[in-house]
Amino acid sequence: MGEKKLHIAMYPWLAMSHLNAFLQLSNKLAERGHKISFLLPTKTQAKFEPFNLHKHLINFVPVAVPCVDGLPPGTETTADVPYPLHSLVMTAMDLTEAAIEAILSDLKPDFVLYDFTHWLPPLAHKLGIKAIIYCTVSSATIGYLVSPERKLREKILTQADLLKPPPSFPSSMIKLRVHEARGLAAATVKQFWPYCDYLGSQFGKPVILAGPVLPEPPRSVLEAKWDKLLGGFKAKSLIYCTFGSECTMKMDQFQELLLGFELTGLPFLAALKPPMGCETIESALPEGLEERVKGRGFVHGGLGSTAVDPQSSFCWVFCDPLRIVFVIGGYDD
């Protein structure tokens, strides 16, 4: 008997890295013959069309992002605005609830996958649809930071709180100092299964590992300017650095990263967002850097990590690892 083919709806957080992660999962599911209805902002669709590898099974469903006081007209994703305005993008996304209900009522999918829209599970339950949280960060990170044992509804985490894991968190050799507790980064690998068990017990939901869900090699043609630039370097000779669309560094981190690339003496391409407090990449560059690395160092604010072929000129890549965890989270099922 053949595998039952499912109809799955996707409604990720309106950030490019989240949209990309959901689309890569959609491609993998479509490979197995499942139908995907991918809900995303109207104008943003064009940016993801080249990465839809199964157009006969993955259908982009347009969602109009409402206007919100404080957001520039036409804002659709966090990539359109500086970091301080990201919370207003969430406000706008929350205002799509009625539209999403109408869309799901019409589509009648078997499942809907989401991440930040807290109101989607009860809405899906009302429509007889299973809701699944698709987390694009690691199980260890979620368990360490937002476990119910942290009692986040009662207090705000301090740096001192982050020095210690939650009481029943799996044992670890990692010990944090105060300065290290200001930022955490992690990725899920097979050895992280105890953290998945911990998450399941804390949230009372099944947890399924789904990743990494790696993208296929790019099929689209590079813009002429990037093709010319990258074509001037030998294969695997250029350092390529990019982070997720949600990553906005502090000024000192941004400048230290670029100064480090300068010290390598190697050609590099850094696709970064302007650091906190800066409107443009140019205004944040270390003094004199542009002249010192002219012809071999390039810093750009608009190139995504899926827009280039990492096998062409690059010797190594920094990017979101997207070791992904499924957390099944129906309303009260």
For residue 323, CA distances in Å to 58, 128, 190, 211, 212 come to 23, 30, 10, 5, 4
φ/ψ (deg, to 5) at 84: -60, -20
Mean pLDDT of 94-107: 98
DSSP 114-138: ESS-TTHHHHHHHTT-EEEEEESS-
**pTM for this structure?**
0.73
pLDDT in tens, 204-229: 777 777 766 777 776 667 778 888 88
- 190 within a domain of the structure (yes/no): no
User: For residue 106, which amino acid is it?
Assistant: D
Looking up residue 268, the CATH number of its domain turns out to be 3.40.50.2000
Give which of 38, 47, 33, 53 is closest to 216, Cα–Cα: 53
Most confident of 77-91, 151-165, 177-191: 77-91
Q: Six-digit token pair at 119?
A: 């109101």
Last-in-domain residue among 73, 104, 136: 136
Q: Is residue 38 exposed (0-12), middle (13-18) or buried (19+ Cβ within 10 Å)?
A: buried
Collapsing DSSP states into helix, strand and coil, what is residue 4?
Answer: coil
Quote the CA–CA distance of 329 and 203 in Å, as a whole number.
9
- 165 within a domain of the structure (yes/no): no
Quote the CA–CA distance of 268 and 300 in Å, as a whole number.
11
Collapsing DSSP states into helix, strand and coil, what is residue 273?
Answer: coil
The answer to whether 299 touches 258, Cβ cutoff 8 Å, is yes
In this prediction, residue 307 carries a pLDDT of 45
Last-in-domain residue among 118, 136, 154: 136
* Least confident interval from 76-90, 188-202, 225-239, 317-331: 317-331
* Least confident interval from 11-20, 223-232, 258-267, 268-277: 223-232
- 98 within a domain of the structure (yes/no): yes
Q: Six-digit token pair at 313?
A: 């000129």
Q: What is the DSSP letter of 181?
A: G
Quote the CA–CA distance of 49 and 42 in Å, as a whole number.
12
| pLDDT confidence tier of residue 175, bands split at 50, 70 and 90 | low
pLDDT in tens, 78-96: 988 888 899 999 999 999 9
Q: Is the Cα torsion angle 27, 31, 37, 43 positive or negative in sign?
A: positive
* Least confident interval from 17-21, 88-92, 173-177: 173-177
pLDDT in tens, 61-79: 999 999 999 999 999 999 8
Annotation marks residue 227 as catalytic: no
Does residue 195 carry a pLDDT above 90? no
- 209 within a domain of the structure (yes/no): no
Does residue 123 carry a pLDDT above 90? yes
Neighbours of 53 (CB within 10 A): 17
* Least confident interval from 97-101, 157-161, 175-179: 175-179
Q: Six-digit token pair at 323?
A: 């070791």
Which structural domain range is residue 72 located in? 7-136
Q: What is the DSSP letter of 230?
A: H
The one catalytic residue in 18, 34, 80, 320 is 18
- 77 within a domain of the structure (yes/no): yes
The answer to whether 323 touches 195, Cβ cutoff 8 Å, is no
The one catalytic residue in 34, 80, 115, 320 is 115
Does residue 320 carry a pLDDT above 50? no
Q: Are residues 132 and 11 in the same domain?
A: yes
Percentage of the chain lying above the pLDDT 90 cut:
46
- 52 within a domain of the structure (yes/no): yes
Q: Six-digit token pair at 15?
A: 């950030």
The answer to whether 105 touches 144, Cβ cutoff 8 Å, is no
Average pLDDT, the chain: 81
DSSP 46-98: HHHGGG-S-TTTEEEEEEPPPP-TTSPTT--SGGGS-GGGHHHHHHHHHTTHH
- 167 within a domain of the structure (yes/no): no
Last-in-domain residue among 101, 136, 171: 136
Does residue 201 carry a pLDDT above 90? no
Cis peptide before 321 (omega within 30 of 0): no
For residue 330, CA distances in Å to 76, 121, 124, 131 come to 27, 6, 8, 5
The answer to whether 259 touches 289, Cβ cutoff 8 Å, is yes
- 107 within a domain of the structure (yes/no): yes
Q: Are residues 15 and 131 in the same domain?
A: yes
The total of structural domains in the chain comes to 2
Annotation marks residue 69 as catalytic: no
| pLDDT confidence tier of residue 57, bands split at 50, 70 and 90 | very high
The answer to whether 240 touches 226, Cβ cutoff 8 Å, is no
Residue 37, beta-bridge partner list: 9, 59
